[in-house]
Chain A
Amino acid sequence: MAIRATESAAARVQAFLTKRGKGIGLRLGVKTSGCSGLAYKLEFVDTINQDDQTFESNGIKIFVDAKSLQYLDGTVLDYVKEGVQEGFKFTNPNTKDECGCGESFTV
């Protein structure tokens, strides 16, 4: 069981956390909504929940709740620039099908 952040993603998260002035890490999760069934969740973390699993990757802490982890195991989080857009991108080996925009998926 593992979740990873690339170096560039970790550097970004660290910078955002510093800028924000509080927070202990990043939460990855899935929500059961969206046009393809499940959707990614990406949030700052201020408090740890009981069922959270913690991963360390490139110097940042990533928190994932147990339920989400079964859909996210093996996921790599990257930070990319595509043209004028920039943001985080999930590479999830569990994904069978994605909606057109990639924000929701099925497993």
Chain B
Amino acid sequence: MALLQIAEPDLSGNPHQHNIAIGIDLGTTNSLVATVRSGEATVLVNHDGCKLIPSIVNYGKETQIGSQAATLRSTDPSNTIVSVKRFMGRSFADLDTTIRYPYKFVNSSGLIQIDTAQGVKNPVEVSADILRYLRNMAVEALGEEPTGVVITVPAYFDDAQRQATRQAGELAGLNVLRLLNEPTAAAIAYGLDSKNEGTFLVYDLGGGTLDVSILSLTKGVFEVLAVGGDTHLGGDDFDHRLSCYIMEKAGLSQLNDEDSAILLINAKKIKEQLSQSEKASFSVVLSTKRLVNFVITRTEYENLVRHLVQKTLLPVKKALRDAKLDKDQIDEVIMVGGSTRMLLVRQMVGELFGREPLTSINPDEVVAIGASIQADVLVGNKKDDWLLLDVTPLSLGVETMGGLVEKIIPRNSTLPIARAQDFTTYKDGQTAMTVHVVQGERELVKDCRSLAKFTLRGIPQMVAGQARIRITYQIDADGLLSVSAKEMMTGVTSSIEVKPSFGLSDEQIGAMLQESISNANHDMQVRLYQEAVVDAQALIDSVEKALYLDADLLTEEELSQINNAIMKLKITLAKAPDDYAQLTNKIKQQTDDLNQISSNFANRRMDKAIHHALSGRDINEVADKI
């Protein structure tokens, strides 16, 4: 018999049609799944009674996920994928080469893939396996397939990373209602969204990463004011520090891998104990038969790691500076992540802000709980038509002449949003226009991330600057983007849509990413080259037209000089580009030369035109005109 949950008044579903909503915190180190049962958000457990599922997948003989996979980490490192979140939506070129990974990476047209005993896996597939495990946990705990799911992502995730996360959800057979920023989820879990106004700082110290976010809540809408952090600073660093200290104290040097692991595990245990008690100890026998007895007080430990906590405060201060806020302007500080259980962390963060941080919700669970509360609302289990809005993490723009970015949707715009802007042609008779969609805060296209590129064709032939092309950017509530371009002047419409994520195949996303990242530099050079070519061609056109009309104004020597310059430039233009930059410079140089040589000619033509206009007129008449 299925077990029932209490519904809101008049919102009981039909039998077998429960609106089951789950929230998933897909973490770098651990993942969790939560749901709202009888109005209360709870984190679900697996068969072993565990809530925290290690985000680890082993592709050995069988696919193992979670703690089973974690045990294989030391024996089968090359097939055991940890922290796959770091690779989501990243290109091969983004790989941090300073870290030694145990994997066989495959560069699949610019994207990261990992060769395992079960074949080549991409980060989306690995994440999908973790999500599938969480989904199965939910099905077992709730007796039914979830109707919809909200997955959390870091506030700093860009479009490609968000799309990869959404794709992983879909690959796992989940109906992804929305991706939610992790700090926003934490704020929801604490019910801060009901306050309607406020500025909150979320300090998220996990096992391996620190994320700091400043959120502002206005009229029930969360905005991310600033993000910061350290991608390689977390609880693990505290364990390492303590483990080194233990070695020092015990007079140990050069441990083998097994013994290092033993010490590290015990260091972690002691760290956790010291959050509860004043003193902790352990004794183990190493593989060398060496007995290690170790006792440490909380004060001793805190003095040992104080500098690490100090280090975590730097990104906090930086985020405040970025948001142009004083620490007194922060209404609440929310603690997220298991490492914020450390009393010293709470104390030092509290001291910085002069207030007690919020810690009442389990810091490991707070993000998943917030996600489940939002999911519950989205599937319609709550009557209040409370709909949380989110904001764009980065600006979205379009490439304009000269490789500059024109921002269409500025960052921190609330979603959903649609913005349009009109553009025009720059050449007579231009019938096509390339729309290049980019994401980022920088002014140059080459410094931003390329998302998509498409061409609008069928623009009627007009003089440059006359056509009106309306480019519309639309982002739905999930933070996903569609772009369209429409020729407005003549009523002739031809528009194209770009859906960068939804329903896109891996290959398509791959091609998009590859194009954006690996060719960015090349694209830019080509663009500069083309711009130079267009400028040169325009100049040749106008000089030739002038020669045809007014060659009699020139001496024979001048005429041949101009003709020579034109010829030289034409030869250069006809060259197949090999080194774009070099050729671009040459074209620019010769265009300048032609400009200079013909400037006298242009002046004389101007004089002639004026003379022509004034001849035979009365001086007073002319004066009137002037």
A binds B: yes
Q: Which residues of A contact B (CB under 8 A)?
A: 12-13, 15-16, 19-20, 26-27, 29, 31, 33-35, 39-47, 80, 82-90, 98-99, 101-104
Q: Quick one: which of A12, A27, A33 contacts B9, CB cutoff 8 A?
A: A27
Contacts of A44 in B (CB 8 A): 6-9, 39
B1-A102 in contact (CB<8A): yes
* 7 pairs of A and B residues whose beta carbons are closest in the complex: A87-B3, A102-B1, A34-B15, A103-B15, A39-B15, A101-B2, A41-B12
Report the bound CA distance from A88 to B7 in whole Å: 12
Additional A-B contact list (10), CB under 8 Å, known A101-B15, A101-B16 = A13-B6, A19-B40, A35-B15, A41-B12, A44-B7, A46-B9, A88-B5, A98-B1, A101-B2, A103-B1
Report the bound CA distance from A15 to B42 in whole Å: 13
A33-B1 in contact (CB<8A): no
Report the bound CA distance from A82 to B47 in whole Å: 12
The chain A residue sitting closest to B144, CB to CB, is A101
B6-A43 in contact (CB<8A): yes
The chain A residue sitting closest to B2, CB to CB, is A101
- Considering only residues 1-23 of chain B, those with a C-beta below 8 Å from chain A are 1-12, 14-16
B546 to A: closest C-beta gap in Å: 82
Q: Quick one: which of A19, A20, A102 contacts B2, CB cutoff 8 A?
A: A102
Report the bound CA distance from A26 to B7 in whole Å: 10
B588 at the interface (CB under 8 A from A): no
Q: Quick one: which of B7, B9, B16 contacts A35, CB cutoff 8 A?
A: B16
Q: Return 13 A-B CB contacts under 8 Å, by A number.
A: A19-B40, A33-B14, A33-B15, A41-B7, A42-B7, A42-B12, A43-B12, A84-B45, A84-B137, A85-B142, A86-B141, A87-B37, A103-B1
B518 to A: closest C-beta gap in Å: 46
Most chain A beta-carbon contacts within 10 A, residue among B2, B14, B137, B143: B2
The chain A residue sitting closest to B16, CB to CB, is A103
Contacts of B5 in A (CB 8 A): 42, 87-88
A86-B3 in contact (CB<8A): yes
Report the bound CA distance from A13 to B40 in whole Å: 11
Contacts of A89 in B (CB 8 A): 1, 3-4
Contacts of A40 in B (CB 8 A): 4, 15
Contacts of B141 in A (CB 8 A): 84-86
Report the bound CA distance from A65 to B38 in whole Å: 21
B533 at the interface (CB under 8 A from A): no
Q: Quick one: which of B1, B9, B137 contacts A45, CB cutoff 8 A?
A: B9
A84-B140 in contact (CB<8A): yes
B7-A43 in contact (CB<8A): yes
From known contacts A39-B14, A42-B12, infer whether A87 and B4 are also in contact, taking CB-CB under 8 Å: yes
B405 at the interface (CB under 8 A from A): no
Most chain A beta-carbon contacts within 10 A, residue among B6, B45, B46: B6
B10-A16 in contact (CB<8A): no
Contacts of B140 in A (CB 8 A): 83-85
The chain A residue sitting closest to B137, CB to CB, is A84
Report the bound CA distance from A41 to B14 in whole Å: 9
Report the bound CA distance from A103 to B4 in whole Å: 8
Contacts of B16 in A (CB 8 A): 34-35, 101, 103
B6-A101 in contact (CB<8A): no
Report the bound CA distance from A14 to B14 in whole Å: 25
Report the bound CA distance from A33 to B143 in whole Å: 20
From known contacts A84-B140, A85-B141, infer whether A43 and B9 are also in contact, taking CB-CB under 8 Å: yes
Contacts of B9 in A (CB 8 A): 27, 43-47
From known contacts A16-B6, A39-B14, A85-B141, infer whether A101 and B39 are also in contact, taking CB-CB under 8 Å: no
From known contacts A44-B39, A85-B142, infer whether A90 and B4 are also in contact, taking CB-CB under 8 Å: yes
